[in-house]
A = this chain, B = another copy of it.
Amino acid sequence: MLGDVSVKAAHMLSLPKVSNFFCKLIQRVAPKSYQQAHGEVYVTQKFLENFAGDQVRFLARSFAVPGNHLGQQSHGFRWPYGPTAIITPFNFPLEIPVLQLMGALYMGNKPVLKVDSKVCIVMEQMLRLLHECGLPVEDVDFINADGKTMNKLLLEANPRMTLFTGSSRVADKLAFDLKGRIKLEDAGFDWKILGPDVQEVDYVAWVCDQDAYACSGQKCSAQSIVFMHENWSKSSLLSQMNELAARRKLDDLTVGPVLTFTTEAMLEHMHKLLQIPGSKVLFGGEALKDHSIPSIYGAIKPTAVFVPIEEILKDNNYELVTREIFGPFQVVTEYKGSSAPNGIGCP
């Protein structure tokens, strides 16, 4: 049955009219370019296609292994949790809730879904589409609430499992409140390491730009530090990254508001980094101008700061350099020789 819902919903999302509607709706609430919003709709469509036909029932495949005697068998079955909860963030208003919600439903759970209240209109519309495609209205509870209310609901409803995507601060509190009956979508301060072989500089520059600045850096996988071998310094990599960053503008939302850091907070962080000997701004490093972004949000140009690797390795700098800024901000450093930089362990 959910296979039918999936294939119908996927087909709806493949229609230009529907796809366009969701792209624009996402852009209304999240600072994304049209292309990026479209990527989110497309991934959601493909996910739904993956569970077309009988694929949902294949998820519930059980097994049996024979024993020593006639009739003796070991069986393995997959069971749903039953009552579950899903809490999703602002940065992917469609993709994250749909994928997590459908996953819960496919395995037979009864989820209550809470989407970040700034962007939940997208999922509200998507639920209506799913209902139109045959999803029974009683299969999902959709709640619009602030975090405090949701926390109370979780404590009272006591779901068997909660799936949370969001800040590590809230994750910690929930892990505690729910005594560990929680799954967390992981995030972090992400690294990119460029080895000694310099090739396809255009492509690498484009990937660095997308990784660091798409969605104004508000992705769990946003590149926060680049380790480049000295061979790359001699290439056009940095200048190309600079050019690509410079093309980003508010008009088409290739750069946009930062929802969890103010402009001041980000610039202050940058200034602290610049006090490290040898540090310098590669590009960016200024507030955006001529915009109407409210001051409770952040608005800076895509920014890259160079910090020497010897300095990063010092204890008092390490914490500072690897602090996660959920915005268009990255650190670049350089290493020499034939092996990876000593003393840096991936966290």
Contact = CB atoms under 8 A, between A and B. Distances in A.
Nearest to A11: B11
A219 to B, nearest CB: 18
Interface in A51-93: 51-55, 57-58, 60-68
Contact of A53 (B50, B54, B68, B180): B50
For this chain, the copies found in one complex come to 4
A50 B61 contact: no
A314 interface: no
A1 B69 CA distance: 11
Interface in A257-280: none
A61 B64 contact: yes
Interface stretch (A123-131, A171-179, A238-246, A288-296): A171-179
A10 B4 CA distance: 11
A341 interface: no
A121 to B, nearest CB: 27
A47 B3 CA distance: 12
Contacts of A175: 179-180
A209 to B, nearest CB: 19
Please report whether the interface of chain A is mostly helix, strand, loop or mixed according to DSSP.
Answer: mixed
A66 B78 CA distance: 11
A182 interface: yes
Contacts of A49: 3, 7, 52-54
Given A3-B49, A55-B50, A179-B175, A64 B64 contact: yes
Nearest to A45: B53
A38 interface: no
Interface in A178-205: 178-182
A302 B58 CA distance: 38
A46 interface: yes
A70 B60 CA distance: 14
A182 to B, nearest CB: 6
Given A178-B180, A179-B175, A179-B176, A60 B53 contact: no
A66 B108 CA distance: 12
A82 to B, nearest CB: 12
Given A52-B53, A175-B180, A179-B180, 17 more contacts: A3-B49, A7-B7, A7-B11, A46-B54, A48-B53, A49-B52, A49-B53, A49-B54, A51-B53, A55-B55, A58-B65, A60-B65, A61-B63, A61-B64, A62-B63, A63-B64, A176-B176
